[in-house]
Each structure stands twice: as C-alpha cells, then as structure tokens.
Amino acid sequence: MSQYWSKLVHRLEPYVPGEQPQDQAYIKLNTNESPYPPSPAIQRVLGTFAAENLRRYPDPQSGDLVTALAAYHGLGDDQVFVGNGSDEVLAHAFQALLQQDTPILFPDISYSFYPVYCALYRIDFERIALDEAFRIRVDDYRRGNGGVILPNPNAPTGIALTLRDIARLLEQNRSSAVIIDEAYVDFGAATAVPLIADHPNLLVTRSFSKSRNLAGLRLGYALGHADLIEGLQRVKNSFNSYPVDSLASSIGLASIDDEDYFQDCIRRIVASREKLVTDLRQLGFETFPSSANFVFVRHPDRNAEKLYFDLKSAGILVRYFGGARIDDCLRITVGSDDECAALISALASLLK
C-alpha cells in the first residue's frame, strides 16, 4: 500500500499465475506447459541468430511473422495481430473491443484473467453459469451485452464447444464483439477461424505457449476482420510499439515452418491425455471430457486442496483453484507418459 498509488491500483486484485518454483525440480503439471521441447529448428535459430540484429529496434508490425501466420490460416495480412503472449493480445482486445456501455459476458468458471482485465480497464461484466456438467450453454448468452469472451476449449474445464455452437453464438450476437480464446484449440477442438469470413465481430486469439511448446518466448496472436485488427493496433501503438522482439519473431517463424514436429507433439499429448484419463478414473476420479492439454478432475471423497498439498510434498505440482463450484477440483496438465505415470503412482499411494 502506498499513498502514491492511484485509486485504480488500490482496487486491483492482480491475476495469480500457477507457481513457477525456482528452488526445486518438481514434476510440473500446473501451468499447461508442454512436456516437450520446442522444434529442433528453434535451437538452430538460436545458434545462428546474429547478435548484431539486436542493435536495431524490431519491425513494429512484425511483418514477416504476420505474413506467415496469415498464410498458415488462409487469411490476409490485415487480419492478423501479434503480441507479447496471448495475454497481452487479450488485454488489448479488452480495451479495444470490450470496453463498452453494457456489461460483457463470460462463463462463471473460466480463465481467471478475464475479470482482472475488466478491473484494469473498468469494464462491467456478468458471469454466465456453466450447466451442472460444467458445459457452456450458448443460449444463455442471448441477452444484451457489450461483448462476449470465452475460451474454446474452456479453461479450466477442458470442455469444448462445437463449431455449430459457436456459429449459433455468433448468429444471435451480431451487435457486439465475440472473442474466442483458442489457447488450447490445437489439442482437439474445432477452430472458429472459418467463421471469420462471415462474422466481422469475431476475434479469435491464439498462443504459442501451449501447443507450440514456447511458453517462455511470450508470443500470441489474434485473427479477425481487418477493422477489429486495426482497433487492436490502435491500442498497441498507444502502449508499446515493439511488443514482439526480433528473436521472438525469428523463433515464431521457425515454429510455424515445422508443421510435422508440431503435429507430432500434439498427437503424443492427446495420446497421453487419453491414458491419463483412464488411469485417473481407475483411481476413482471423476474427469470432465477434455479437448485440451490438461484434465479437470475431482474425487468423490477426497479433499482437493489436501491432495494438491500432498502431491506437492511428493514433488508433483498440479493446480488447485478453490472458489465457488470448483473447490473440490484439481486441474492437471498432461505431462510426458513418465510424468503421468509418476503422478498416478503418487495418487495411488495417497488414496490407499
């Protein structure tokens, strides 16, 4: 606390990310990082990148990266916006598109950064309850709003909406922006990108952190109608002209180029997820159907917070959120098969 803080800063309750312990080597299944390294092409970029390049500011438009992403998604360059992680892209989207006179809507159980951006940008919001099975009911969003944002698949549930559901959401919501946060879409959900052509109010956000094994790089992007992208650019150019550094651009390009490695990692993680779900069920856990690189689980007669602490003592980190409706749940990132096996054997002995 300081008397020099603004009123706004006094009121902020910042987002608390999952632990990144620096002291001890945990089996880290708490922040949805990939168990696999980035593509070997990226180590080659790091080996050949000329330090001389860092003398100059990067291209403020990240033109090469934008062009590569546009080609990858079959869109025009003016339909792509890149930023320093998708969290930053989302922050700009909140300010550029969701700061309206009417409250915005998002699910009651969802990415906990959304209410934090709302506080930062003074945006009113309403939380729309998931159903009993923790599914988003698109029809519940049929009401006046200043915008809608939801992750697909949702986090931390892992449950995906179908493309038809998203199309319906867009049909019934034409007068405000709809943001679909696709941080986890590559692990098994249908992307809303094909809907961009007919829906000038749709913004899709993506991340290099999860499915491209590059959480440390901080690279994310948004796709949408050129007018939406221009709105994001106006905010970005009023905030930081150079959010993506030269090295990050080169690494991002190398990642996009290595489609085989990308697909191979996804296949492995999806296979590990299916095995993990089977093993957790055998231990008596209830699991929600996951299309992401994590599973959301609860045990009918075990305290989730205690399980979290006991696992931590055993050297395994998972995520416990607490809070309304999910205080009996844990979110577990899909690790390598060895990491998942270690988790299952630790849980087996804790549950004995």
Nearer to ligand PLP, 333 or 347 (CB): 333
Nearer to ligand PLP, 86 or 95 (CB): 86
Nearer to ligand PLP, 195 or 215 (CB): 215
Cβ 181 to ligand PLP shortest distance, Å: 5
Longest dimension (CA), the chain: 60
Stretch 2-21: interaction string toward ligand PLP, x if CB under 6 A = --------------------
One-letter amino acid identity for 115?
P
DSSP string over 47-70? HH--GGGGGSPPPTT-HHHHHHHH
Nearer to ligand PLP, 152 or 302 (CB): 152
Query: Which of residues 85, 146, 147, 224 is near ligand PLP by CB under 6 A?
Result: 85
Asked if 83 interacts with ligand PLP (CB under 6 A), we say no
- Given a contact cutoff of 8 angstroms between Cβ atoms, the answer to whether 208 and 219 are in contact is yes
Asked if 111 interacts with ligand PLP (CB under 6 A), we say yes
Asked if 155 interacts with ligand PLP (CB under 6 A), we say yes
Q: Which helix (DSSP H) or strand (DSSP E) does residue 260 occupy?
A: helix 259-282
Q: What angle do CA 121, 195, 67 make, to 5 degrees?
A: 75
Cβ 212 to ligand PLP shortest distance, Å: 10
CA gap 124, 117 in Å, rounded: 10
Cβ 3 to ligand PLP shortest distance, Å: 33
CA gap 205, 198 in Å, rounded: 17
Asked if 293 interacts with ligand PLP (CB under 6 A), we say no
Q: What angle do CA 340, 328, 215 make, to 5 degrees?
A: 45
Which residues in this chain contact ligand PLP in the complex, by CB under 6 A? 85-87, 111, 151, 155, 181, 183, 207, 209, 215, 220
